[in-house]
Structure formats: C-alpha cells, structure tokens
Chain A
Amino acid sequence: MKVVTALHRPAALLAGMLACAGLLAFAEWSGSGGSSQPSVRIVHITERDFHIRSPRRIAPGRVRLVVTNDGPDLHELIVVRDPAGTRLPLRTDGLTVNEDALAPEEVGSLEPGVPGSVRGLTLRLRPGRYEIFCNMAGHYMSGMHAVLLVGKP
C-alpha cells in the first residue's frame, strides 16, 4: 500500500516539476524575447545589508531592472517617481516609509527576495527623478535607498 501511494506522490511531484520547468522556460523565453528588443535596457541593481548600488543616471524608455540580493537579509525594491521633497514621507512610527502616501508615485516594486536571489522588474521609465528603496523594517532608515535619474545624459 505504502509503495502504491509512494508511486503516486512522485508522479504528481514530477508533473509539478515539469509544469514549473515549462513555466520557467516560457518566462526565460519571453524575457530573452524582451532583451532582444533594442528599446529594453538592462539596469543592474545590487542590494545588501544596508545599501543599494545602482547607476546614477539612465536613459528613458523600457528598462529591465535586474536586482541581485547580496544579503544576508531579505530585501525588497520599490521604485517611486519624482517624490515630493528630498525625504520620503514616513509612517507615524517615524521609522518606515509611508507607501500608501506614495502610491500615486510608485511605478513598480519587487516583493522581499531571499539572499542570493536575482530578480527582474521591467518598467517604462519616463524622464525624471526616481527613488529606489527597501522598506523592510528599519532598512530605509539604515541607508537602503538610492536616486535614479532618467533622462538624456
């Protein structure tokens, strides 16, 4: 009996794995399809405790942000355009950014990624001033934010 159930489980597992592999392959295909278009530019961004490294200025248009988490903590990435003032609005605790207040300006975000992960975020960026940051508890205040200028160099 045990053997029979064990037989079904890996079958299901295998099916699942095949499905995942298929999806990944599709995603990879669509991704490479995007990069083959000259209008999409790759922008490498590296996050680590507690710093974001990114180019200071990029050209407008379609960009693919390739975000690498060097850890050791989990990090997210939120992109906002042209925020009012130099400092982002904080919640009442005065320690984390008030994302609700920034909702109209937010152009894209990546959920927390585990250390070592590399993720992509494709955006169409108009010229302007953008700020990128990680809003996990205390990360913004510890220095995980950077300014990205989009426009003609």
Chain B
Amino acid sequence: MIRAPAFTPYASRGRKPVVAILLTFALCSMASIGLSIWQTARTQHRAEVLRVAERQQTLASEYVQEVMLVRSGQQSDPDVTATILRLSTDALLDGGAVPAVPGNDDEADLAPATDPVVRAQLIQERRLVDDMTSTGAAYLDGRPVSSVPLTAGEHLAVTAPLTRLRVLSMLTADAALNTARTIVAESDSDVTNLIVMQAVLGGVGLLVSLGLALALVAATRRQTAHFRSIVDSSTDLVIVLGAGGCRHVSRSVTAMLGVSEDAVLGDGLLRFLHPDGRALVRSAQTSGRTEEIVFQLVNQHGEWRTLEAHVTDLRQDRAIRGVVLNARDVTERVGLQDELVRQAHYDGLTGLANRGLFRDRLEQALTRSTRAGGSVGVLILDLDGFKQVNDSLGHEAGDQLLRVVADRLTETVRATDTVARFGGDEFAVLIDQTDEALAVSVARRALARLAEPAVVGGRELEVAASIGIALQTGESGGDELVRNADVAMYAAKDAGRGRHEVFRSDMARDPDELLGLDNELRYALARNELSVHYQPTISLSGGEIVGVEALVRWTSPTRGPVGPDVFIPVAETSGLIAALGEYVLREACGETARWLRNGIVGRDFVTWVNVSTKQLTMGGMPGAVDRALQTAGLPARNLGLEVTERAIMLGDAADRALVELQQLHDSGVRIAIDDFGTGFSSLARLRDFPVDMLKVDRSFVQGVERDAKDVAITTHAITLAHALGLIAVAEGIETEGQLAHMRAVGCDVGQGYLFSRPVPAKEITTFLAAAHDAAQAA
C-alpha cells in the first residue's frame, strides 16, 4: 500500500537543513570529544603498560645479578624477581594485577593485550622468562643447565651456566624492550589514527554543514521566490509604505498603472493618487491602524481605478519595516454598484428620478421644512392625449416625446428641485421652499414650455398636459401630498386639457375607495347593482315631454351610492366601460320600447344615452347600438347618443369615432353634443359632424341670472345651433328665471331639477303615463 507523503507546510520546509546542520555539528563534536577521551584513557593505560614492559628489561638483568649474588654466598632472593617477572608477563598478556617491585614502585592493574604482534612478542617473552628462571634455578641447585629444556627456540651453543643464563637474560631484556618498542609504535599509529579520525570527522562535519548550508540557502531562495511569485501573480495589489514613502509595490500595481516600479517608489506614488485619497493614505502610513480604506489611482491612460485596501502595520517586522496596503481593484464593482443605485433610483428612459427617489427627496424636504420652516410643493403632471401619440406614431415616438417632456420640465425648475417620472406619461416635480404663487408659476411655465411645438417621429406635435399642485399643510406626509396633487391633476384634466389646478380639500377622493373599485364594479355589473335613472327633457315652447336622458346609477352594498363621476373613470381605465355602456343601452332601449308599446310616449320620443369618450375611441359602437335596438325592438329614431365635445375633437381616434357616429346617424340614431361650451370645439369639426342637437352646459345656464357673459355664451350657443340647423337644449335649469331666460333666447328644449330630477324607471313610467294622460285630457 502506497502511503501519501506527509503534508509539509511550505513555511516550515527550511527548518530541516538547520536542524540537520546543528545535528551534524553536535554529532561530529561528540565523536571528536569521545575519541579524545577514549584516546587519553588509552594513552594513560599504555604508559602503564610501557612502564611494566620496560621494568621487565631491568628485572631480567636484576635476576641474573641476584642469582650470581646467591652463588657467591650473599643474601638475595632471585625467586621473588622471577615471580614478579612471570606475573608481570602474564598481566601484560592476559591482563590483571602487576605486583610492585618492593621499595621501587606501586602495583598496577592492566588490561589484556589486544594487538596480535604484541601478544606474540609477550608469549615469546614469557617463554624466555621461563627459560631464564628455569636455567637460573638449575644453576643455583647445582643441576647441569644444559639439561633445562628451552622453549623459546634458542639454539644455544654455549654450555657455561652463567654465560647461558646471561644470554637468556639478554634475550628476555631484548624481548621486553622490543615489546615496549612495538607498543610505542602502536601508540604512535593510534595517535596518527586519532588525528586522521579527527580530521575526517572535521572534514565530514564541514562538508555536511556546507552542503546543508547551501541547501538552506537554496531552500530560502526557493521559498522567497515562491512567495514572491505568489505575491506577483496575485491579482491583489500590495503596496508597502515606509519612512521614505513607497518602499515596495507588487508587479500587479505597476501592471495596473502601466509604469515602471521606479516611477512609483518613494514619493512617486503620490502623483498617481487622487487628491481625495492622499490624506487617507498618509494617515494609514503614519498611524498603521488596521482598517479598510478606499482610494483611487490614475493609470497611464488617465483612467481612475478604485482600490479597496486593508492596512496592516508591519513596521516592527524587520523584514518589512513598513505599513502594508493589501488592495483590490474594485473599480468594476463600484461602477456596477453606482449603476445599480442609478437603476434603482432613476428612470431608465428619461434619466429623471423615479418614484422611489422622489419619495425619498420629498420626505427629506418635508423634514427640512418642518425644522426650518417654509413649505414643500408637489406637482403631478399627466400628458393629454399621450396614448394617441403612442397609438398613431408608435412607442418609439412616444418615448421620444417623454424625453422631450423630461428635458423641458428639467429646464423649467430650479436645480434644487426634483423632476421625476412616475411611469407612463405621469411626471412629478418636487419644489422645495415654495408657496402657492411660486408653485403655480412653475406649473404655468411648465405648461407654456410644453406647449411649444415639438418634433417627434418626424411630425410636429403640440404637447399639452394637466398639472395638479399640492402644497404642504401642517403635518401632511409625503404620500398624502402626492395623492392630493394627483387628485388636483384629475380635477385639472376634468376641467379640460392644458390646465393646472391647486388641490382643495373638497376635491379629495378617498384613494382607498378607488382602490379595488374596478373589481367591485365588475361584480356590480354581474349582480345587477346598477340601475338606470331617467330625467325628462321638456319642450320649452309646448311644455310637453319630448324625451328622457338615461343616467346610470350604482348603489354599492358596501359603499352606498357611488357617483358616475367616480366609477365611470374607473370603468374607462379598467375596460369595463364597454359592458357598462351596453348595459345602459340595453336598459334604456328596453324601457323606451315598453313605453312606446304601452303608448305612453309619442312616436318622436327620444331616449338619450351618454357615450363616454373611451367608448367611442374603442370602436364598435354601431354594433352595440344595433344589438340593443334589435333586442328591444326599438326604432333607431327613438334613441339618441350624447357625446362630449372632447370625444369628437381628439385626433385620429376621433376620425374613427366620426365614421362610426356617421354610420349610426345614417341608421337613424340621433346624436347630441353634451356639455357644449366647456371644451375647445372646432366649429369646422362641428360642421362635419352628424349632429342633431347641442346641449348647452349647465354652468352657463345656471349663470344667466347674474352673469352677462353666461348670457352671451348661451345666447350665441343657441344661435349657433339654430344656424347649423340643430336643436338647442339647456341643461340644469333649476329656477323659473333660468327657464324664462332660455325661453326668451329661443332655446328649444330644457332639462333640469325644475322639471324633474333623474328618477328610477318605475317613477319615470308613472310620470310619463301621467303626462300622457294629462295631454290626452287636454
């Protein structure tokens, strides 16, 4: 089984050579010291051996002298010397105690001889000692010495006992001397060996140490290169700041800046630093505080790169001696963040603030004004007829128009004010530190500026808009302010195009009420919560009922009665208007057909049904009307449609409406212009339109008793109607005075509370029947 090599961190790899060097030194030194100690002990022992070996030489001579002394009758004891000689030889050879020569030296303890040459010489010496002492003993005993067997290989020719003894003594002494010489030579060779050993140890130690030192240097170099290449190949930017400025930069820094290292080192770095970041970098350099700093450097292309750096204080580190900035290039990230912030806060099409940013700024402005006084104004602007631009010229033209509007609005306001686009064709302006007069003047300027012709999609357009203005009152919050401006804008729109309105509390419509109203309306249609009321129209000359206006009513189980001014716009925006219109047509036609069948109304009786602008522009009216007439079995001449001035004045869509109205008119359906005088009717348009009747708006009718202008308008409207061959109708007659005036100026038909309010079908049927009966009776 193969075992994976143990993991060694790169940083700890240099330790091995150091440990090996120390170990080698220690081992060599220990071996050297051990050798010296061992050799010293050996030398001491050898000196003792040498002393004993040399003593043998003397003892051999003494033995002969002692024998001679005994022979000459003197007192001596050669046996003692013989014993010492023999025991000494034994000790030299095999180790053991060496007896002392009385009065001369001390006892010694020897180790056995190991050298084979020395041992051979000692064995020979022992034989010679034996031969000499045996010969000496025989001589003293008076035995013939030639009979003594010699064991050391002597071939003695001499027979004289003393001479023989002396020769043996010489041989013994010579052997002892030679043994001593051999020991000395051996000792010399030991010393030489020791020197050689020491030299070898020293040499090995030196070589190993040198090798390991080289290995260590190589390892260190490798490690340095390793870390340098890691640092250099890293995308991280490393900058070391020291006392003299920039001390080191990684290759990634010079690569990013596109300059050489020399250009950056020292004070060079400062030239690349953005002035905003200089203080930050200098503070990091002097304090060394661990922190994250962000600064910018300019590269050789003049491009600013944003760096995010971690500061580490390594001034105490001898290898660095500086403050290290470990930085990352976050330019792209910062750019992306900015872009995300921009996308989150700005409208992509126009570059204006979006609803979120507007709300933010509004809250800030409100907080400021609460603290420091002053008032905040909000303008909500909605383009008139933008949908027609989109429909007829395409969305690109629509977008272009929105950009034009955005530019013009921005030009109109102060730099401190905020212009935002809420979506679609709805814009908002936040005016800080304002009052009503200033806000109104801004609205006027904006409308005037927008009214200037704009070339969009190759066509010259005249842009109109409706502006609602709301001003901060008391503790009103931002949402409320925007809502109020919105309500005012609708009011302005209702009042006609190109207008502005300042919010008044009586305009307020509960937005919660509007919310979900379309759903409720949908259910209302399905659950039959709607009803149609009728208001009679009276011939002012004869006083008879010539027709009724059908008016839709809604009583919601949760909200109670809901006015058509509230739910008709909801129906228009939610697309329910078609169904609603058909419902009214169906009801009105059915009711009228019944009256006709029952004979309570005349042949020329007309029931008028209101048609909203939206219904007309959506198209499909003739079909719907035809279906209703067919279902009810009602002749077309008994049905009239009331359309507003605006519906017939609006561009291309109105052309379609014109075609459809013409179709309807041709089929016999009557057409009336409702609220005549409130819009911007083009007389030419009026001439081309298939109209039977003009309804003068109630606002003029109701003013005839006190306002000369209203008198003039109504008079001229009626004159105009007659001039065009149309029937003139006065709406909203409430007093006898108004009635008298209308009669006086020749108005044909009247309608209003003076005669009857709008009443349910049942009541109007009774009313009509009563009127019929009265007429019959008359």
Tell me whether B206 and A137 are in contact (CB under 8 A). Answer: no
| Interface: A81 (CB within 8 A) | no
In the complex, what distance in Å separates the CA atom of A9 from the CA atom of B196?
8
Tell me whether B199 and A6 are in contact (CB under 8 A). Answer: yes
| Interface: A121 (CB within 8 A) | no
| Interface residue tally on B, bucketed by range | 35 or more
Known: A13-B196, A50-B154, A71-B120. A3 touches B170 (CB 8 A): no
Binds A, one of B105-113, B173-181, B493-501, B561-569: B173-181
Interface residues of chain B: helix, strand, loop or mixed (majority): helix
Contact of B158 among A50, A136, A141 (CB under 8 A): A141
Determine the residue in chain A with the shortest Cβ distance to B153.
A49
Tell me whether A10 and B200 are in contact (CB under 8 A). Answer: yes
| Interface: B163 (CB within 8 A) | yes
What are 26 pairs between A and B in contact, CB < 8 Å? A2-B202, A3-B206, A6-B198, A6-B199, A6-B203, A6-B206, A7-B202, A9-B199, A13-B199, A49-B154, A50-B154, A50-B171, A71-B124, A72-B117, A72-B120, A73-B121, A95-B167, A114-B117, A115-B117, A139-B171, A141-B156, A141-B170, A143-B154, A143-B155, A143-B156, A143-B157
Cβ contacts under 8 Å, A93 to chain B: 166
Within 8 A of B (CB), among A1-29: 2-3, 5-7, 9-10, 13
In the complex, what distance in Å separates the CA atom of A94 from the CA atom of B166?
10
| Interface: A39 (CB within 8 A) | no
Cβ contacts under 8 Å, B175 to chain A: 73
Tell me whether A10 and B196 are in contact (CB under 8 A). Answer: yes
- Sorted nearest first, the 10 A-B pairs with minimum C-beta distance are A6-B202, A143-B155, A138-B170, A10-B199, A72-B120, A137-B174, A138-B171, A142-B154, A137-B170, A72-B124
Cβ contacts under 8 Å, B178 to chain A: 73-74
| Interface: A53 (CB within 8 A) | no
Cβ contacts under 8 Å, B198 to chain A: 6, 9
Q: Which of B121, B123, B185 has the most CB of A within 10 A?
A: B121
Determine the residue in chain A with the shortest Cβ distance to B199.
A10
8 more contacts with CB within 8 A, not counting A3-B202, A115-B121, are: A7-B202, A9-B202, A50-B171, A114-B185, A139-B174, A142-B156, A143-B154, A143-B155
Tell me whether A142 and B206 are in contact (CB under 8 A). Answer: no
| Interface: A116 (CB within 8 A) | yes
Known: A10-B199, A74-B181. A116 touches B170 (CB 8 A): no
Determine the residue in chain A with the shortest Cβ distance to B150.
A142
| Interface: B195 (CB within 8 A) | yes
Cβ contacts under 8 Å, A137 to chain B: 170-171, 173-174, 177
| Interface: B205 (CB within 8 A) | yes
A110 to B: closest C-beta gap in Å:
16
Contact of B182 among A2, A9, A114, A141 (CB under 8 A): A114
Tell me whether B167 and A138 are in contact (CB under 8 A). Answer: yes
A147 to B: closest C-beta gap in Å:
14
In the complex, what distance in Å separates the CA atom of A7 from the CA atom of B202?
7
Tell me whether B123 and A72 are in contact (CB under 8 A). Answer: yes
Within 8 A of B (CB), among A96-153: 114-116, 136-139, 141-143
A130 to B: closest C-beta gap in Å:
20
Tell me whether B195 and A9 are in contact (CB under 8 A). Answer: yes
In the complex, what distance in Å separates the CA atom of A142 from the CA atom of B169?
12
In the complex, what distance in Å separates the CA atom of A126 from the CA atom of B483?
153
In the complex, what distance in Å separates the CA atom of A143 from the CA atom of B167?
11
Cβ contacts B580-624/A at 8 Å (1 or 0 each): 000000000000000000000000000000000000000000000
Cβ contacts under 8 Å, A3 to chain B: 202, 205-206, 209
| Interface: B711 (CB within 8 A) | no
In the complex, what distance in Å separates the CA atom of A115 from the CA atom of B182?
10
Q: Which of B156, B166, B171, B177 has the most CB of A within 10 A?
A: B171
A150 to B: closest C-beta gap in Å:
24
A13 to B: closest C-beta gap in Å:
6
Tell me whether A71 and B121 are in contact (CB under 8 A). Answer: yes
| Interface: A57 (CB within 8 A) | no
Cβ contacts under 8 Å, B167 to chain A: 95, 138, 141-142
Q: Which of B152, B185, B200, B202 has the most CB of A within 10 A?
A: B202
Known: A7-B203, A73-B175, A137-B171. A95 touches B163 (CB 8 A): yes
| Interface: A62 (CB within 8 A) | no
Determine the residue in chain B with the shortest Cβ distance to A115.
B117
In the complex, what distance in Å separates the CA atom of A137 from the CA atom of B154?
13
Determine the residue in chain B with the shortest Cβ distance to A5.
B202
A6 to B: closest C-beta gap in Å:
2
B132 to A: closest C-beta gap in Å:
10
| Interface: B201 (CB within 8 A) | yes
Determine the residue in chain A with the shortest Cβ distance to B201.
A6
Cβ contacts A26-62/B at 8 Å (1 or 0 each): 0000000000000000000000111100000000000
Cβ contacts under 8 Å, B120 to chain A: 71-72, 115
B543 to A: closest C-beta gap in Å:
144
In the complex, what distance in Å separates the CA atom of A73 from the CA atom of B153?
11
B148 to A: closest C-beta gap in Å:
14
A144 to B: closest C-beta gap in Å:
8
Determine the residue in chain B with the shortest Cβ distance to A9.
B199
In the complex, what distance in Å separates the CA atom of A138 from the CA atom of B32?
45
Determine the residue in chain B with the shortest Cβ distance to A12.
B199
In the complex, what distance in Å separates the CA atom of A9 from the CA atom of B167?
46
Cβ contacts under 8 Å, A116 to chain B: 117
Cβ contacts under 8 Å, B206 to chain A: 3, 6-7
In the complex, what distance in Å separates the CA atom of A10 from the CA atom of B157?
52
In the complex, what distance in Å separates the CA atom of A114 from the CA atom of B115?
14
Cβ contacts under 8 Å, A10 to chain B: 196, 199-200, 202-203
| Interface: B429 (CB within 8 A) | no
Contact of B174 among A9, A73, A115 (CB under 8 A): A73
Known: A9-B195, A74-B181. A48 touches B153 (CB 8 A): yes
Cβ contacts B354-366/A at 8 Å (1 or 0 each): 0000000000000
Cβ contacts B177-218/A at 8 Å (1 or 0 each): 110011001000000000110111111011001000000000
A128 to B: closest C-beta gap in Å:
24
In the complex, what distance in Å separates the CA atom of A51 from the CA atom of B32?
46
In the complex, what distance in Å separates the CA atom of A93 from the CA atom of B162?
12
In the complex, what distance in Å separates the CA atom of A51 from the CA atom of B203?
48
A19 to B: closest C-beta gap in Å:
15
Cβ contacts under 8 Å, A141 to chain B: 156-158, 163, 167, 170
Cβ contacts under 8 Å, B209 to chain A: 3
Cβ contacts under 8 Å, B201 to chain A: 6
Q: Which of A13, A50, A93, A142 has the most CB of B within 10 A?
A: A142
Cβ contacts under 8 Å, B249 to chain A: none
In the complex, what distance in Å separates the CA atom of A116 from the CA atom of B123?
16
In the complex, what distance in Å separates the CA atom of A2 from the CA atom of B166?
54
Tell me whether B170 and A49 are in contact (CB under 8 A). Answer: no
In the complex, what distance in Å separates the CA atom of A126 from the CA atom of B553?
172
Determine the residue in chain A with the shortest Cβ distance to B152.
A49
Tell me whether B153 and A50 are in contact (CB under 8 A). Answer: yes
Determine the residue in chain A with the shortest Cβ distance to B121.
A72
Tell me whether A95 and B170 are in contact (CB under 8 A). Answer: yes
| Interface: B471 (CB within 8 A) | no
| Interface: B168 (CB within 8 A) | yes
Determine the residue in chain B with the shortest Cβ distance to A141.
B167
B195 to A: closest C-beta gap in Å:
6
In the complex, what distance in Å separates the CA atom of A139 from the CA atom of B167?
8
In the complex, what distance in Å separates the CA atom of A109 from the CA atom of B158?
26
Cβ contacts under 8 Å, A7 to chain B: 199, 202-203, 206
Determine the residue in chain B with the shortest Cβ distance to A96.
B170
Within 8 A of A (CB), among B496-519: none
A132 to B: closest C-beta gap in Å:
15
In the complex, what distance in Å separates the CA atom of A5 from the CA atom of B202?
8
In the complex, what distance in Å separates the CA atom of A13 from the CA atom of B195?
9
A127 to B: closest C-beta gap in Å:
28
Determine the residue in chain A with the shortest Cβ distance to B155.
A143
In the complex, what distance in Å separates the CA atom of A13 from the CA atom of B182?
23
A60 to B: closest C-beta gap in Å:
29
In the complex, what distance in Å separates the CA atom of A15 from the CA atom of B169?
45
Cβ contacts under 8 Å, B199 to chain A: 6-7, 9-10, 13
A139 to B: closest C-beta gap in Å:
7
